[in-house]
Amino acid sequence: MFEDRPDCDEVVLVGRSNVGKSTLMRELTGHSVSTGRKPGVTRQPNHFDWTSESFMFTDLPGFGFMSGVSEEQREQIKTDVVRYVEDNADDILVGVLVVDGKSVVDIIDRHSGDDEIPHDVELFHFLRDLEIPTVVAVNKMDKVDDRDDRLDDLCDRLGLYPPWKQWQDTIAPISAKRGNISALTDTLGDHFHDQKRDDLLKFL
């Protein structure tokens, strides 16, 4: 179980381990967050909050493969993440699903089967089913050569009709390590505005 959270609106970062959520969190907040080469560094939600505005960014633990973590523990972390999002859906202004732009389509294809829904696809639809505004931050795009094709393929796997450019309120290509996250912050700003939280624009 996760520890108690501050009572305020939030933006949550969710996704597989090692896709760069903590690096993105650092770029969004300007504050150092534990990152590491080994997947699974984040085991509890990392909150960065502004009490005066009753708002925070939250980096949720990654799911999927983690070095030295049993399958049972991995499943528990995923369950805890899902429960956290369900329990706090009314306070989540935006859910940001962070994926690795270079590998996400291959991972989705590898885990697609008659009785298997890939984690990334499942989480995307889970957020939307809860009516949480959802943005897919497609990270590490500096390592992708066939940018438009790759983003079109991702849209296709998520059930969004390509081309990806018609989904710029949902698909945000970024490179957190290089500090290039404007596609995401622009989209977050639009969502804040839609929810009458223009007071939060100064944090982007």
Q: What is the pLDDT of residue 72?
A: 85
Please state, as a whole number, how many other Cβ atoms lie within 10 Å of the Cβ of residue 85: 20
Q: What is the pLDDT of residue 63?
A: 81
The pTM of the full predicted model, rounded to 2 decimals, is 0.92
Cis, bond preceding 6 (omega within 30 deg of 0): no
Superfamily covering domain 9-203: P-loop containing nucleotide triphosphate hydrolases (3.40.50.300)
Spatial contact of 15 and 98, defined as CB atoms under 8 Å apart: yes
What are 116's strand-pairing partners?
A: 113
Q: What is the pLDDT of residue 36?
A: 43
Indicate the domain borders of the chain: 9-203
pLDDT tens by residue, the chain, 204 residues: 677 788 899 999 999 988 999 899 999 998 765 544 444 445 688 888 887 889 999 999 888 766 677 778 888 888 999 999 999 999 999 999 999 999 999 999 998 877 788 889 999 999 999 999 999 999 999 999 999 999 999 999 999 999 999 999 999 999 999 999 999 999 999 999 999 999 999 999
Spatial contact of 171 and 138, defined as CB atoms under 8 Å apart: yes
